[in-house]
Chains A and B, each alone.
Chain A
């Protein structure tokens, strides 16, 4: 069965500092991977996704993520964090079969940004 872990429950960074949020997955085949963000009082929004090809994917708001098959990881990065990036971040893995799709989410990482 597929699963997703996000080792960091909460991270605090200073505005302007770099950011890396970790995500590890367990899945028997090549997964489809996603990062979603949930800002306070807002719905979930897709940041970026990986399906195939280039293992470094670019997303919205200056975020990027790198798929590393050997480490079963899909870490999210941003070179310079803005105060508006404070939110909950969820990594997700997709199990895309011909019969049905299923997307499982990790527990989330809460990001706080210090001015």
Chain B
């Protein structure tokens, strides 16, 4: 697509429910990132995908959080048994992997509009 697409844009759920957040990156971008932005906070790194593999899962806050990416494209971030502290905007970004950039447009992340999650 033309840009990074995230869905849903808004999600209100009850504590204890599971939620799935979807990210559709820019076509051809092999690198995909998930960040979390809490109210008044910066961007907290959650996980990074290179293709379908996740070489860095160090930012996932707990084992309730998981993410997968299939076909080197769409990614899903799943939060199980949601808690109120999970309320935040979840941002997805994609980019070209460094070895594919050919020295041009190196490293720029293209962000989606985010999915705002509210846990009641």
Which A residues are closer than 8 A to B by beta carbons? 6, 32, 34, 36, 43-44, 46, 49, 51, 90, 92, 94, 96-108
Please determine whether A96 and B43 come into contact, CB atoms closer than 8 angstroms. no
Pick from B41, B42, B48, B111: contact of A101, CB under 8 Å: B48
Q: Please list 17 pairs of residues, one from A and one from B, whose beta carbons are closer than 8 Å in the complex, sorted by A's number.
A: A32-B106, A34-B107, A36-B109, A43-B111, A43-B113, A49-B107, A51-B106, A51-B107, A94-B107, A96-B98, A101-B48, A101-B50, A101-B97, A102-B48, A105-B43, A107-B42, A108-B42
Interface residues of A, dominant DSSP:
strand
Q: Look across to chain B and name the residue whose beta carbon is closest to the beta carbon of A94.
A: B107
Q: Which of A34, A90, A94 has the most CB of B within 10 A?
A: A94
CA distance A114 to B41 in the complex (A): 23
Q: Look across to chain B and name the residue whose beta carbon is closest to the beta carbon of A91.
A: B42
Please determine whether B43 and A90 come into contact, CB atoms closer than 8 angstroms. yes
Please determine whether B33 and A103 come into contact, CB atoms closer than 8 angstroms. yes
Please determine whether B55 and A99 come into contact, CB atoms closer than 8 angstroms. yes
B45 at the interface (CB under 8 A from A): yes
